[in-house]
Structure 1
């Protein structure tokens, strides 16, 4: 005999699985039709559901965008940290920062739909909730902490941890990703004409904020 708690767990698991499936299908639709062209009717059709059934899980299209934003923010942050963890020379803050950012850029190129939702205003009027935006804020703080570590190690000048430097760093990185999508959207991260410049962009940032004793 199935106990009430087991029944609730089973229902909760099925609900989580259905939510994940809805989000996966939504990304499929957005990949084919455009990020701003998400259709709940099309998502329901592909899942074999009646459109009103989706409202049991998401009350609106904006709610799906919001859930995808949170999912993307978590995943890109995790990809950056995982890439950094693979860096053998863990004592070198700049080497760790380089792999941290490389993991970020690679994830962006491999996940174009979520990247557009995260970093470009592709959906008119959409604003993520504070809860969904929180992982993005945390990721930016991770970047700041790594810049501060490089400063503490004497590899970068103190200005490298300033808000201006953080803004410049993100502009350089996002510019590479945007150029790749605009010009070679189907190229791999390794073969992309612009993504191949990620190490060069990183070196430019280092040169801009090199310690004074290293600039002569």
Structure 2
């Protein structure tokens, strides 16, 4: 019985992943807010009532997409060396580059994560948790940089964190809004990531 249960769970998870992938394709074509459950159902060969067994509402599907995107984004940032076990400034810069690069390569997810294109949608605490954890890691790196004398104490304040995230999100938004097909490194705006971070560092460097 456990084997049958595991198989059902695997099939269900595979179907969910297929639905999420189809939703991303439709959002790329029709706009993030233009996605419809009936369109997603048709894309995966389902009737709409069958889709409700996996996602009871359009907002539930958006929430799953947000959760998937935020988790993948956080993983990409950590894979770049975002850790207090390394030099904090090196980690911050590497993480910022990875953050921008992932979002530019995943423009549909970027709109859902960085902008608010769907009226009335707010991610659930569970879907937002990877973003919260990543922000906590950012604060830990800033505190470590201050403790080591690499940055001024003001760098660990709420305002400094807001400015840090605004610089990064601003680069992403400008790139996607003005040159969506530009590369993560050679784009008109993404290539300015390092100078933008240098400006932030100059504000808080002793």
Match 1:80 to one of 59, 77, 82: 77
Shift in Å, 1:191: 1.4
Residue 126 in 1 paired to residue 121 in 2? yes
Match of 2:16 in 1: 19
Instruction: State how far apart, in whole Å, the 2-side matches of 1:91 and 1:125 are.
Output: 40
How is 1:13-52 mapped onto 2 (pairs within 5 angstroms)? 13-52=10-49
Match 1:148 to one of 143, 146, 151: 143
Q: Which structure 1 segments of 5+ residues have no match?
A: 212-216
Please list every run of at least 4 consecutive aligned residues from structure 1 whose deviation after the TM superposition is greater than 6 angstroms. none
Look up the SS of the partner of 1:84 in the other structure. Answer: coil
Match of 2:178 in 1: 183
Shift in Å, 1:206: 0.8
How is 1:95-134 mapped onto 2 (pairs within 5 angstroms)? 95-134=90-129
Instruction: State how far apart, in whole Å, the 1-side matches of 2:154 and 2:186 are.
Output: 33
Match of 1:53 in 2: 50
Shift in Å, 1:139: 1.0
What TM-score results when the alignment is normalised by the length of structure 2?
A: 0.96
Look up the SS of the partner of 1:138 in the other structure. Answer: helix
Bigger Rg, structure 1 or 2: 1
Specify whether residues 51 and 91 from structure 1 end up closer, same or farther in structure 2 by C-alpha distance, changes over 3 A only.
closer
Q: Which structure 2 segments of 5+ residues have no match?
A: none
- Where relative contact order (Cα < 8 A, 6+ residues apart) is larger, the structure is 2
Residues 176, 195 of structure 1: 8 Å contact kept: yes
Instruction: State how far apart, in whole Å, the 2-side matches of 1:8 and 1:173 are.
Output: 44
Instruction: State how far apart, in whole Å, the 1-side matches of 2:176 and 2:95 are.
Output: 21
Instruction: State how far apart, in whole Å, the 1-side matches of 2:10 and 2:104 are.
Output: 31
Residue 71 in 1 paired to residue 71 in 2? no
The answer to which of 39-48 and 193-202 deviates more is: 39-48
What TM-score results when the alignment is normalised by the length of structure 1?
A: 0.92
Match of 1:135 in 2: 130
Instruction: State how far apart, in whole Å, the 1-side matches of 2:53 and 2:135 are.
Output: 34
- Please provide the CA RMSD for this pair: 1.2
Instruction: State how far apart, in whole Å, the 1-side matches of 2:87 and 2:121 are.
Output: 40
Residues 93, 153 of structure 1: 8 Å contact kept: no
Shift in Å, 1:149: 1.5
